[in-house]
Amino acid sequence: MNKAIKDLTAISIIGIAMILAIILGRQLIYPRTLRMLADQKNILIGAAVNGWLLSDPDYSVILANEFSLITPENALKFGPLCPEPGVYLFDEADAIIAFANSHQMFVRGHTLVWTNQLPDWLTSREWTRDELLEILYRHITTVVGRYQDSVYAWDVVNEALANDGTIALDNFWMKGIGPDYIELAFRWAHATDPNALLFYNDSFAEGMGEKSNGIYAMVADLLERGVPIHGVGLEMHVGVDYWLPPYSEISANIHRLSDLGLQVHITELDVRLPTPITKEYLEQQATIYGGMLSVCLEQPACTAFGMWGFTDAHSWIPYIYPEWTAPLIFDEVYKPKPAYWALIETLESK
Ligand code: XIL
């Protein structure tokens, strides 16, 4: 090899090495996490968590580094929280909230009024309307009161509408109290903590359609009548070859809610995959995560982007729907999946 070629080769190698060193150095000096990038975009990035996992360092380090918002996955639901009349087990919720406070994370409270995961003592007998009003009032004021310094937003009412957008009749509170249970819950929560943001949260209503039309009409009516409500939560349990509303519709839906003066939170995003997992499915999943985040970033009203967990090692999906799998952004051994990198890239490029 003549000297000129040797020199050229050496210069190229040195050049490439320098570029690599700069890239690597940047990574070391400026490590990127979802949380850091989301902070720059003024959006909260969240995950649902279980208290018993916080003692696992693999879990808690990722949680604190990558997320700015925590939602207890079950700990604040009526059944787990209050297994006997008047007996509240606050330990798990307290631990999650203490973790959030010590890592400067926000907390979403989920959920005060829902027909699922109610305690047996409540569902196993008949009550008069007045008794139920009293029970619900006590529950809301007890829980919101206890956490008024630490929960910044509550899912006050969860999944109260049927798929056709009308109020769900097959609902414990609807049957026992009637449709005004919804506005009473918002009024009581607000009276207890006037600073908390109060949300209506529901599923299968992210895009345009009968159900999201029903939610829109309901929240518009609540606002018109002066009921304190500040936002709508879009659960977003979507998937590859499953429920997947088009981005343009989600955008239109967020836009019309924002025109009412409401915030929108993505509250429970996960993207389930058919089994067995393939590389293609993982790539499609990444595209969906990135696409949903883009939609949220494009709308100033979309102020939080929350996932229903963060690792496939702990997701409700395979337990409840065994034909689906791997819906989250870290795999079962806490390795970031293509979906994680899609979120990073979206935050960097938008
Ligand atoms: C799920 C939890 O993830 C499970 O652990 C539990 O067994 C059932 O509830 N919509 C909601 C969430 O609003 O509260 C649900 O969470 C998922 C669907």
Which among 213, 208, 135, 129 is positioned nearest to 176, based on CA atoms? 129
pLDDT at 306: 99
pLDDT tier for residue 29 given thresholds of 50, 70 and 90 = low
Tell me how far the alpha carbon of residue 65 lies from the centroid of ligand 1, in angstroms: 24
pLDDT attached to residue 25: 55
Give the rounded percent of residues in the chain with a pLDDT score beyond 70. Answer: 95
Q: Is 72 helix (H, G, I), strand (E, B) or coil?
A: strand
Q: What is the mean pLDDT of the chain?
A: 95
Report CA 146 to chain centroid distance, whole Å: 22
Q: Please determine, for residue 298, whether its predicted confidence score (pLDDT) is greater than 80.
A: yes
Contact 88, 81 (CB under 8 A): yes
- Counting atoms of ligand 1 from 1, which one is nearest the CA of 315? 3
Relative to the CA of 111, which ligand 1 atom is closest?
Answer: 14
Mutate to test the pocket of ligand 1, among 268, 270, 272, 319 (most ligand atoms within 8 A of CB): 268
Q: What is the pLDDT of residues 178-221, one digit of tens each?
A: 999 999 999 999 999 999 999 999 999 999 999 999 999 999 99
pTM as predicted: 0.92
Query: What distance in angstroms lies between residue 116's CA and the mean position of ligand 1's atoms?
Result: 9
Q: What distance in angstroms lies between residue 73's CA and the mean position of ligand 1's atoms?
A: 7
Q: Which protein residues are within 6 Å of ligand 1, measured from CB?
A: 73-74, 158, 203, 235, 268, 316
Provide the pLDDT confidence category of residue 21 given band limits of 50, 70 and 90: low
- Percent of the chain surpassing pLDDT 90: 91
Whether 246 and 291 have beta carbons less than 8 Å apart is answered as no
Mean pLDDT for 77-104 is 98
Number of H helices, E strands in the chain: 14, 10
What per-residue confidence (pLDDT) applies to 14? Answer: 78
Neighbours of 34 (CB within 10 A): 25
Which protein residue's CA is at the shortest distance from atom 13 of ligand 1? Answer: 158
Q: Which atom of ligand 1 is nearest to the CA of 203?
A: 10
- Mean pLDDT is lowest, of 5-14, 28-37, 138-147, for 5-14
Mutate to test the pocket of ligand 1, among 78, 154, 243, 316 (most ligand atoms within 8 A of CB): 316
Please check the confidence at residue 255 and state whether its pLDDT lies above 80: yes
pLDDT of residue 11: 75
Name residue, tokens 């109260």.
160
User: In the chain, what is the straight-line distance between the N-terminal and C-terminal CA atoms, in Å?
Assistant: 48
Q: Is residue 134 annotated as part of the catalytic site, yes or no?
A: no
Distance 119 CA to ligand 1 centre (A): 15
Reported as a pLDDT band with limits 50, 70 and 90, residue 350 is: confident
- Distance from residue 254's CA to the centre of ligand 1 (Å): 23
Give the long-range contacts of residues 251-254, CB within 8 A, separation 24 or more: 251/295, 251/298, 251/299, 252/207, 252/208, 253/205, 253/206, 253/207, 253/208, 253/212, 253/216, 254/295, 254/296, 254/299, 254/301, 254/302
Residue bearing the CA closest to ligand 1, atom 4: 316
Mean pLDDT of 26-43: 84
Q: Which residue has its alpha carbon closest to ligand 1 atom 7?
A: 316
pLDDT band at 8 (very low <50, low <70, confident <90, very high): confident
Ligand 1 centroid to Cα of residue 16, in Å, is 50
Segment 11-38 shows an average pLDDT of: 73
* Residue type for position 266: I
Report residue 37's pLDDT band, with 50, 70 and 90 as the boundaries. very high
Atom nearest to 50 CA in ligand 1: 5
Q: How sure is the predictor about 16, in pLDDT bands with cuts at 50, 70 and 90?
A: confident
Q: Is the pLDDT of residue 27 over 60?
A: no
Interhelix angle for 129-146 vs 181-192, to 10°? 30
283 is catalytic: no
| CA dihedral angle for residue 92, residue 97, residue 98, residue 101, rounded to 10 degrees | 170
Which among 92, 159, 183, 235 is annotated as catalytic?
159
